[in-house]
Amino acid sequence: MKFEPTKFDAAWLLKIEPQSDNRGFFARTWCTEEFRKQGLADHFVQCNVSFNQHEGTVRGMHFQVAPSEECKIVRCTHGAIFDVIVDCRLDSPTLGMWEGFFLNDDNHDSLYIPEGFAHGFQTLAARTEVLYQMNEFYHPQCARGFHYLDQDIGINWPKPILVVSEKDRRSGPFSSCLADLREH
């Protein structure tokens, strides 16, 4: 497994190193020892799957605040996504910056998303499935988020946005989220 840096000091693109033969390949997607060597969270308590029927579906932008901040490993197991993270760490020089990654069932890449980052994605194919490993349980009282089209963030989604939940559509701006974080 290779850890490729992103523009953020704590987020990593994880690339598999497949051992291939006439059957296909075998590869490690996660390893406690390798994560410890990188100084990353290595204890995950939950694994979730997100199935998305339609291309152009957007989910996000979501994260949890203390005392239940969470890190995630996200991998697209079927189809393709444009996976986005936004730095929400108040003391970070990259606060409010975003980066996007193309994850799909051809490249088998995963994204390590540290605590303090919002996450969202857009499906680039119908019937897309995304697998999440989480190091913290979901706590509704700690759940936060902001609008996926926030103008201050300016995420450049690659496809027209066709499907969004009502909850995500009603999300407020990043500035309100920041004000909440500063009070928290």
Residue at token pair 């390798």: 34
CB 15 within 8 A of CB 2: yes
171 HSE (CA, 13 A, CB side): 25
Q: Annotated catalytic, 62?
A: yes
Q: Which of 43, 108, 132, 148 is catalytic?
A: 132
Q: What's the token pair of residue 21?
A: 């033969």
- Distance CA(149)–CA(155), nearest Å, equals 7
Q: Which of 43, 54, 62, 148 is catalytic?
A: 62
From residue 111, give the alpha-carbon distance in Å to each of 4, 61, 66, 132: 10, 15, 22, 10
In eight-state DSSP terms, residue 159 is S
Residue at token pair 């075998």: 26
Angle at 38 between CA 34 and CA 43, to 5 degrees: 65
Which residues does the annotation mark as catalytic? 62, 132
